[in-house]
A = this chain, B = another copy of it.
Amino acid sequence: MQQIASLQQAFEKYLQARAFNQEPQGLYGPADYIMKSTGKRVRPVLAMLGCQIFGGDLEKGMAVGLAVEVFHNFSLVHDDIMDEAPLRRGKPAVHTVYGLNAGILSGDVMLIYAYKFLLEAGKPEVAAKLVEIFNGVAIEVCEGQQYDVDFETREDVAIPEYIRMIELKTAALIGGALQMGGVAAQGDAESVSALCSFGRSIGIAFQLQDDILDTFGDPAKFGKKVGGDIAQNKKTFLILKAMQLAQGKDRERLAELMSSYPEDEAGKIKEVTALLRQLDIPQWAEALKAKYQAQAYEALQRVKGDEAVKKVLWGLSESLMQRQS
């Protein structure tokens, strides 16, 4: 994946020239901190590939990528406050280092900067179209976060509702990164739409992978605490499917554990994980993930654009699905 590495490098350089190192430090310091605690820059690379598929200028793809990456990091800052998560990517979360108020306000200004960076991706007519798409995606992300919160205290979440939630919370932005990259390159509408569908399916598969890792991942490689979803009573696909399959006392016990916050959290995590294994939940989750990967592949076929770039994009999506953190 030489091409991916070179896109990541180009993006880092682009980002550094626009880093949050201005005054007031109390506002921009936390933004700088999270933006530098790099992740894999998956979303910017997707935006750049989405642009390149249609032969667009890389600068435009990077502008979209920066907007998307800043938005993504804004959402992490605010989500970590709401989830009371002390760590992010194995490092202290923004609010852990800088406090609640700095986390709120720095997140706000990052959201605004996302729009500022987005305007650099094209002439006014294109920019206005990008802002319109971005608004839709950003609203979906907020709605997804709200459903995620709502589901924690609901006992009757159906699997399709869960899938819809992760589509909003995670997949919409993956699809949006590709779509906006394509719009910045002024790709044809049908192909851009197919590219967006590809991203949404990959995004759902990506989140299912995340759910699997959160429970069955290797603690040494996973950036967050393994078992965190179980501890927080998150109704992920794993739990919802298990509730569907479990019988009698197992089912009662699972429901009881997943609606309580016992003092022995480690014991709860261990017991639930064992129950899930017993019900073959890892296999069920892998099968569903594979279904969305197949949908993604089918959508990508419909994109009329540079076949070599499409191949790189498919390779990237496959490597994301095999990741360990």
A247 within 8 A of B: no
A160 within 8 A of B: no
In the complex, given contacts A115-B135, A124-B128, what are 16 additional A-B residue pairs having Cβ atoms less than 8 angstroms apart?
Answer: A27-B142, A82-B101, A82-B104, A82-B105, A105-B142, A109-B139, A113-B135, A113-B139, A115-B131, A116-B135, A116-B139, A119-B135, A125-B128, A127-B128, A128-B128, A128-B131
A147 within 8 A of B: yes
A residues lining the B interface (CB < 8 Å): 24, 26-27, 78, 81-82, 100-101, 104-105, 107-109, 111-113, 115-116, 119, 124-125, 127-129, 131-132, 134-135, 138-139, 142-143, 145-147, 149-150
The residue from B24, B26, B132, B146 contacting A105, defined by CB atoms under 8 A apart: B146
Residue contacts A-B, CB under 8 angstroms, 10 given: A26-B149, A27-B146, A105-B145, A109-B139, A112-B138, A116-B135, A119-B131, A124-B124, A124-B129, A125-B125
Q: Is the interface of A mostly helix, strand, loop or mixed?
A: helix
Complexed CA–CA distance, A217 and B119 (Å): 44
Q: Are B128 and A26 in contact (CB under 8 A)?
A: no
Q: Are A109 and B24 in contact (CB under 8 A)?
A: no
Q: Are B112 and A119 in contact (CB under 8 A)?
A: no
Chain B residues with CB under 8 A of A150: 24, 26
Chain B residues with CB under 8 A of A124: 124-125, 127-129
